[in-house]
Amino acid sequence: MSNTKYIPTIGIECHVQLATKTKLFSEVDNDARGKEPNSCVSPVDYALPGMLPRLNGEAIRLAILAGRAMNCEINSHSRFDRKHYFYPDSPKGYQITQFYEPIIGEGYVELPSGTKIRIEHAHLEGDAGKLTHYDSYSLVDLNRVDTPLIEIVSMPDIHSAKDAHDYCKELWRLMTFAGVSYGDLYNGNMRFDVNISLAPEGAKKLGTRAEIKNLNSFRSVERAAEYEIIRQTKIYEKGEKVVQETRGWNDASGKTTTQRSKEEAKDYRYMPEPDLPPINLSDDFIETESAKLPPMPADYRKIFKGKIPEDILELLLDYPKLAEKLNDTDEKYAKNIANLFTSVLLAEEKSAEYLNDLPSTKDLNELAEMNENKELSSTATKEVFLRLFDPQMKHRGAKNIAKELGLIQENDLGALEKIVDAVLAKPETKKAQEDYRNGEQKVIGFLIGQVMKESKGKANPSAVQEIIKQKLA
């Protein structure tokens, strides 16, 4: 038994909240962040008698973009169904979803490693409300009711916890690059259900699966999958059977635990939604909307291949705005600007704020140019770069800021030589000159420092070093 190798097979369902202005079936604000509980709720959402859903066209357009981002077919005909269950998070007593005919058909997502994960389908549906449980009571907040969701269902193409992580992360990137979701994981904009089973290597049939529900970070997806692989392997090694069930993930303990077995599974009594006519999309409409899809991470990987180191590019690809901006700037400065983004901007405490107000393409090009012409030292470049986010200064432009701050380097060799001569003539540098000639090369740092001081920081240090070396040779 212990020689058998067990191969995990993983399929993932991902719920993505769409960033529409209003809800899927009513006209109230869909963005309830920071708002009072039950303040973004219309009579349609809280299921007053006689209320009818009104389909939000923006959700259809975003679903088309989401589908195209995943290389999916868009179905010209789709429709809604009702999924019934009783719980206070569902005021209607059913969720409006697309069980039989979803809007998004087959497609695939390509991971950075090149592995392709096929998409089975994705469908539109309304989200449920939120319950907060206390000792003797629970509170219901219906703000989230009928926030538009797309549920993306993958094929069981994933075979490692790492790929499960990468798949979820790539989905997140696709959804944020396509602009269909805010992608705020902390606020539950994307949630993952991981189906995982093990089977002996070479087996034709998949093993019994467990479903780990409601994971809200890539890391928890990876850890839960790792945990399940070990748990299920141990069960098989003992000669026992895995039970088909729904399990929950506890991030603190790092364990999954039983929530509901198959026998307790609910019968949702699906039924066509009679209050909403079917969605029929013309080819023209699908094409026009699809054309609005901006470049996706895979496109940027092609564009920047060989121009930016892969690890830096992958970092940038977590931020659609940076990738987009980089693509706008001059190709020859790509590496330079990418470095500023990753090592300066993303290291800033206020980086989230900065991302919403990036410098102009012109300023970035100028800044990179000054750096590459050695007009600005790397330290000065960083300084000017950060000033480009300062509301008081940014409008003056990179060149003026550099000048005003006196950061332009002295590159005139004649002028530099004069300063070097003046420094070498100073008595306090005599000992260092002597030490250098005696082979103590590191004292040149002291001499360069003196020159920099004399030049008030404007001298180009590498040029200074060359001159000192010549003088003391």
Partner 1 sequence: MKIASKSLTAEKLVRDALEKAKHYADYNIFTFLDEEGAIARAKEIDTKIKKGEKVGRLAGVPYALKDNFLSPRGETTASAHILQGFTSPITATAVTKLEAEGAIMIGRTNMDAFAHGSSTENSYFGPTLNSHDKERVSGGSSGGSAVSVALDIVEFATGTDTGGSIRQPASFNGIYGLKPTYGCISRYGVVAMASSTDCIGFFTKNPDDMDLLMSIASGQDPKDMTTLPDYYNEESEQKAHYRIGIIKDFDNESVNSEIRTALETKCDLLKSKGHEIVELKMPSLKYALAAYYIIVPAEIASNLSRYDGVRYGFRSKNSEDLDALYNNTRSEGFMPENKRRIMIGNFVLSSGFYDAYFLKAAKARSLIIKEYENAFKKCDFILTPVAPNPAFKLGEKINDPVAMYLEDVMSVPLNLAGVPGLTIPAGETKSGLPLGLQLIGPRRSDKALIKFSKELI
CB of 53 or CB of 320, closer to partner 1? 53
Position among 39, 57, 93, 357 found at the interface with partner 1 (CB under 8 A): 93
With contacts defined by CB under 8 A, name the span among 16-24, 243-251, 267-275, 456-464 that binds partner 1: 267-275
Tell me which residue has tokens 């509170």: 139
Binding flag, residue 94, partner 1 (CB under 8 A): yes
CB of 275 or CB of 310, closer to partner 1? 275
Contacts of 95 (CB under 8 A, 6+ apart): 82, 83, 85, 125, 126, 128
- What are the two backbone dihedrals, phi and then psi, of residue 7, each rounded to the nearest 5 degrees? -100, 125
Task: Output b/e per residue, 279-309; b: 16+ Cβ within 10 A.
Answer: bebeeeebeebeeebeebbbebbebbeeebe
Q: Provide the CB-side half-sphere exposure for 411 (13 A, CA).
A: 11
Interaction mask 120-149, partner 1, x per CB under 8 A: --------------------x---------
The CA R_g of the chain, rounded to the nearest whole Å, is 30
Total residues binding partner 1 (CB under 8 A) = 30
| Beta carbon of residue 147, minimum distance to partner 1 (angstroms, whole number) | 19
With contacts defined by CB under 8 A, name the span among 2-10, 80-88, 347-355, 437-445 that binds partner 1: 80-88
CB count in 10 Å sphere of residue 80: 28
Position among 36, 135, 264, 267 found at the interface with partner 1 (CB under 8 A): 267
With contacts defined by CB under 8 A, name the span among 8-16, 47-55, 307-315, 452-460 that binds partner 1: 47-55
Cβ proximity of 155 and 126 under 8 Å = no
Binding flag, residue 82, partner 1 (CB under 8 A): yes
> In DSSP terms, which residues pair with 16 in a beta bridge?
150, 190
With contacts defined by CB under 8 A, name the span among 89-97, 298-306, 335-343, 453-461 that binds partner 1: 89-97
Position among 86, 135, 282, 438 found at the interface with partner 1 (CB under 8 A): 86
Cβ proximity of 443 and 436 under 8 Å = yes
CB of 48 or CB of 230, closer to partner 1? 48
Interaction mask 48-67, partner 1, x per CB under 8 A: xxxxxxxx------------
Helix (H, G, I), strand (E, B) or coil at 215: strand
Helix (H, G, I), strand (E, B) or coil at 464: helix
Binding flag, residue 23, partner 1 (CB under 8 A): no
Task: Output b/e per residue, 341-350; b: 16+ Cβ within 10 A.
Answer: bbebbbeeee
| Beta carbon of residue 61, minimum distance to partner 1 (angstroms, whole number) | 17
| Beta carbon of residue 137, minimum distance to partner 1 (angstroms, whole number) | 10
How many DSSP H helices and E strands does the chain contain? 16, 15
| Beta carbon of residue 49, minimum distance to partner 1 (angstroms, whole number) | 4
| Beta carbon of residue 403, minimum distance to partner 1 (angstroms, whole number) | 59
Q: How far apart are CA 296 and CA 300, in angstroms?
A: 7
CB of 139 or CB of 422, closer to partner 1? 139
Element (H, E) at 116: strand 116-126
Binding flag, residue 439, partner 1 (CB under 8 A): no
User: 277 to 336, contacts with partner 1 by CB under 8 A?
Assistant: 277
Position among 88, 200, 406, 445 found at the interface with partner 1 (CB under 8 A): 88
With contacts defined by CB under 8 A, name the span among 8-16, 269-277, 308-316, 444-452 that binds partner 1: 269-277
Binding flag, residue 203, partner 1 (CB under 8 A): no
CB of 52 or CB of 422, closer to partner 1? 52
**What tokens were used for 347?**
């290291």
**What tokens were used for 222?**
């990876």
Position among 15, 23, 68, 92 found at the interface with partner 1 (CB under 8 A): 92
Cβ proximity of 156 and 145 under 8 Å = no
Sheet holding 190-200, edge to edge: 107-110, 116-126, 148-154, 6-17, 190-200, 210-215, 245-250, 255-261
Position among 33, 219, 269, 374 found at the interface with partner 1 (CB under 8 A): 269
Rule CB under 8 A: which residues touch partner 1?
43, 46-55, 82, 84, 86, 88, 91-94, 140, 267-272, 274-277
